[in-house]
Structure 1
Amino acid sequence: MKTANGHEFVAMLEKIVPRKLAMESDPTGLQLGDLSKKVRKIMFTLDVLEDVVEEAIEQGVDMIIAHHPFLFRPVHKIDMETAQGRMIRKLIKHDIIVYAAHTNLDIAKGGVNDILANLLELKETEVIVPTHVEKYLKVVVFVPKESCETVRQVLMNNGAGQIGTEYESCSFEVMGTGKFKPSEKASPTIGKKGELAHVDEVRLEAIITEDLALQAVKAVKAAHPYEEPAIDLYPLEGLKHVEGLGRVGTLAKEMPLEVFVDIVKGVLSIEHLRLIGDPETKVKKVAVLGGDGNKFIHDAKRSGADVLITGDIYYHTGHDLLAIGLPTIDAGHNIEKVMKSYLKAEFEERSKEQGIEVELVVSEKNTDPFTFL
């Protein structure tokens, strides 16, 4: 087992929730610290507050990975008499890295909104607000039969073969005869210089998103037995990979809103919430958007949802929701805490695969500022 530094754990996080998915001007990424230091213990938290930092110090944490950036707006001064100033001083004194995965963690497959949708047992989920659209390509490579599986695995390991959300490692193979004549300067793996070779080859093909295609081709070339492998990329019309904010899906059965409210409170571990709309409304199609959903109520309405679950609804937005006929459950911003155990589990699996020794913990501090009396 090896010890990794901050850069290596950021690379691990990038595989789970790519930073490229973050919304424009979102302060995702390094907030404070030196990523070159060795990291032996990581804490996952929703918010970075002074008591969370003290918890991290007590537990000997080297790196905090948070959902909400604590340096969200420009800092013009660090006043040690303020909570933020004291917190920054403690983080620096104890050499703790703070890294934030914000809207990229909301948007990414398996992230905050997918976790919430899964907890609510929503089926056939779709994105509510598309933010990233990737085109698909078909990658085709011709490879000797005995090397086909090796090359196929390289393709799959580099992002090819994902169809929809439930199918992976998808490919197609067909046998044929490859013909080529190596020049006198070539170094052929199969065949002789100056002679036409006939080789039993497999046409191996799979789909891949455009952003991953070049890296996959590079990896295939490195793994392919031929000196000059034949690799083709074809654009696929009408097939796109969409990622974005929120999820909308269906419940197993229709039920009154007041019944569904009790389910929401149970699965999200909350005692109180705010409701906009008629409790007797029948609901089956549910939209969920973790965090502040005020900007996206019309997107949720257009999705055909019978109810929206989100947080931080403003007074006048509540009126707007009544006007457009979209019952809404304001379950609070703090429901995004579901990301802590998700990231911990992902890091545990990937650290084990990579032979990295690290202790992973979640913050036990309740960072919800609201108490209902």
Structure 2
Amino acid sequence: MKIANGHEIIQLFESWSPKKLACMENDPIGLAIGTLNKEVTKVLVTLDVNDEVADEAIQKGCQLIIAHHPPIFRKLANLRTDTPAGKLYEKLIKNDIAVYAAHTNLDVATGGVNDLLADALQLENKQILEKTYHENLMKLAVFVPDEYAEKVRFALAKAGAGHIGNYDSCSFSTNGQGRFRALEGADPFIGEIGEMETTDEEKIEVVFPQSIKNKVLKALLNAHPYEEPAYDVYTLAVETKEMGIGRVGTLKEPMTLKQFAQFVKTQLDVPMVRLVGQTETLVSKVAVLGGDGNTYIHAAKRSGADVFVTGDVKFHIAQDAQNLGLNIIDPGHHVEKVMMKGVADKMVQLCSSSKLSVEFIQSEIVTEPFIFI
């Protein structure tokens, strides 16, 4: 195991929850404060970054904070250290603590906030509430000398190309002859400078998601024996890897709205919830979205959900849901705290696989601003 630097940790984090998944315009995600160009042995995972969380990071010797809610949400007109926010930023910078924010990208990511909430509510047959991201498939066609075809196929498969449904290492080959002449300055693998050459080759074709294009091409160039391999890469009119915000699933057994509200309180560890709907109505299909779900009530209704679990529901939105016949349970915004354990567990796994020695600590500071009486 080796000590990691900040860049290595965030590179692993973004392999799971990349910035491109963010579904809010101008979402201020990524490195917000400090630098990643340093050794990191301890990371604090938190929902929010406030003064108490900063003190906790200092006390526990953390060099990096990974937060769900960005500490700088709007552009700064100035950086004054005589304001509460300015004092917080000053404290973090003086103690060389970097802050990285993963907001709506972590909401969308597989295994992120909304999957964690759906799992906490024990939902089965999970689906996306609303699609926000997809990738197109790409195809690589490359010409390889016969005796090197297997080596190149293996390298492409190892890089993730040729994965179709529940199958991997998928490829198609055709045989033919390649012709070329090496010019002055070349270093030909086959043939001589200035001589026309003909060689038996295989044309190997594989598909892969757009997001791993660079990884696939790097594997190809490393495995191919030619100085200048001939290959084509093009985009297919086939979508893959659909991802989105919120989740929809079914309960193991139907419950009344009142029973399910109590279940939500227990599972999400909140002191109270707000309800819209008739308490004795039976619910079976559930939509859930962490944080503010006001703009998704129609998506929840279209999904066929009997009840929508989300936070920060406004008065008129509640009336709209009532008119739609959609039950709502509002457990508050702070239920997104499930991300602390989820992120810490995932990052321990990723760093362990990469042989990086990093400790991930879940914040013990309660950042819920409301007191319930």
Q: Which residue of 1 aligns with 2:26?
A: 25
Contact 1:285 1:306 in 2 (8 A): yes
Cα deviation digits, residues 203-250 of structure 1 (max 9, x gap): 4523323x4335523431222234454544454435343322112223
Counterpart Cα distance in 2 of 1:306 and 1:215: 43
- Cα 1:148–1:249, aligned 2, differ >3 Å: closer, same or farther? farther
Q: How does 1:1-373 map to 2 (within 5 A)?
A: 1-22=1-22, 23-78=24-79, 80=81, 82-141=83-142, 150-152=151-153, 154-156=155-157, 158-161=159-162, 163=164, 167=166, 170-173=168-171, 177-181=175-179, 183=181, 196-198=198-200, 201=202, 203=204, 205-209=206-210, 211-229=211-229, 231-233=231-233, 235-373=235-373
Tell me the alpha carbon deviations over residues 13-32 of structure 1, each in whole angstroms, 9 at most, x when there is no partner.
22121112222211112221
Over residues 21-72 of structure 1, what are the superposed CA-to-partner deviations in whole Å (9 max), with x where a residue is unaligned?
A: 2222111122211222222211110010111111111101101110001211
Cα separation, 1, equivalents of 2:346 and 2:8:
14
Change in CA separation of 1:98 and 1:241 when aligned onto 2, cut-off 3 Å: same
Aligned residue for 2:45, secondary structure, equals strand
How far 1:178 moved relative to its partner?
A: 4.2
Instruction: Report the Cα distance in structure 1 between the residues aligned to 2:256 and 2:151, rounded to whole angstroms.
Output: 53
Query: Aligned-pair distance for 1:304?
Result: 1.8
The AA in structure 1 aligned to 2:104 is T
Q: Is the 8 A contact 1:174 1:203 kept in 2?
A: yes
One-letter code aligned to 1:57: I
With over 3 angstroms needed to count, the CA separation of the structure-2 counterparts of 1:4 and 1:234, relative to structure 1, is same
Relative to the length of structure 1, the TM-score reads 0.86
Question: What is the root-mean-square deviation of aligned Cα atoms in Å?
Answer: 2.9
Q: Does the 8 A contact of 2:162 with 2:170 survive in 1?
A: no
Segment drifting more, 283-292 vs 151-160: 151-160
Conservation of the 8 A alpha-carbon contact between 2:162 and 2:171:
no
Corresponding letter in the other structure for 2:329: I
- Give the 3-state SS of the residue equivalent to 2:357 in structure 1: coil
The number of residues matched between the two structures is 368
TM-score (norm 2): 0.86
- Residue 56 of structure 2 aligns with an amino acid whose one-letter code is E
Contact 2:137 2:207 in 1 (8 A): no
Aligned pair in 2 of structure 1 residues 354, 195: CA closer, same or farther (>3 Å)? same
> Which consecutive unaligned segments of at least 5 residues does structure 1 have?
none
